[in-house]
Structure 1
Amino acid sequence: MANQELIAHLNEILKHEWTGVAQYSQASFIVEGVWREVYADKFIGDAKESFGHAQLIGNKIVALGGVPVATRNEIKQSRDLFEVLQFSLEFEAKAVEMYEKALELAEGNRALVVFLEDILNDEQEGVDEYTKLLRDTSTASAANSARKSG
């Protein structure tokens, strides 16, 4: 049987990925206004990525001798696009943190390390993307506020 601490941590990651499926799907449902066409598809894409990661992690847990969880954490939702983007950045940053810890626990198992690094790369790309989106949104928001007050 593989390291129980590693399996337990992978199950925490799995819960996080299940949360991503729900949270990003919900965001795609409720995003409104002029940005709906852009962000609804983005959020669905992110939900699909979380589902793909959940499949990978769930299968790895079984391969290591564990049983995958079928639960998720509470989702964060809002009708405010800026807030949803912030929630998304927080979600991706937490995933990076979780995969980094899993890498520490997998030390010495090169194949598992490579497996986790591939997913970590996806999560870091998510952090980078939401960081750039928020930068653009805050600039646009400031310009909009200046226009309204001027």
Structure 2
Amino acid sequence: MNNQAIIEQLNEILKHEWTGVAQYSQASFIAEGPWREVYAAKFIADAKESFGHAQLVGDKIAALGGVPVATRNEIKQSRDLNEVLQFSLAFEAKAVEMYEKALELAEGNRPLVIFLEDILIQEQEGVDEYTKLLRNSTGASAANPVSQTA
């Protein structure tokens, strides 16, 4: 395993997780309408999850001898709930991709592989959840998580 390559990938992941903290927090702030309480709470929970992942990844970078980044990528925001859900799905899918790349780089270091797999499972759950939230939703129906057709 190349420590420098894994540290660089973990720092890219860390930037992504810092972005998640900001993006999900912002989404919770601007959520509006009758489903505000539901979605604001969902986005805050996701921001907290991103922060938890950032803590884990930052600690791991330091343990490997690297310096954790303190920067983030640009956030995506909208007042349109359906668009925010799409941004969230894309964010979670990118996280899955990034952790999978880190797993390839960690090959041969079983504890690091397990560490990354544990987080990857949570990221995949995020993809699954946002996929379900977006399923069969268009326009205003995206704001109503209860389908009229059962």
Q: TM-score of the superposition, structure 1-length normalised? A: 0.91
User: What residue is the counterpart of 2:19 in the other structure?
Assistant: 19
- Give the drift of 1:137: 2.9
1:108-129 Cα shifts (integer Å, max 9, x gaps): 0000000000000000000000
1:92-112 Cα shifts (integer Å, max 9, x gaps): 000000000000000000000
Q: RMSD between aligned alpha carbons?
A: 1.6
User: What residue is the counterpart of 2:96 in the other structure?
Assistant: 96
Give % identity.
Answer: 85
Number of residues paired by the alignment? 142
User: What residue is the counterpart of 2:49 in the other structure?
Assistant: 49
The one-letter amino acid paired with 2:5 is E
Q: Within 2, Cα distance between the matches of 1:54 and 1:118?
A: 14
- Which structure has the highest helix share of the two? 1
User: What residue is the counterpart of 2:86 in the other structure?
Assistant: 86
Q: TM-score of the superposition, structure 2-length normalised? A: 0.91
User: What residue is the counterpart of 2:105 in the other structure?
Assistant: 105
Q: Within 2, Cα distance between the matches of 1:28 and 1:5?
A: 35
Q: Secondary structure at the match of 1:33?
A: coil
The one-letter amino acid paired with 1:108 is G
Instruction: Map residues 66-77 of structure 1 onto 2, 5 A cutoff.
Output: 66-77=66-77
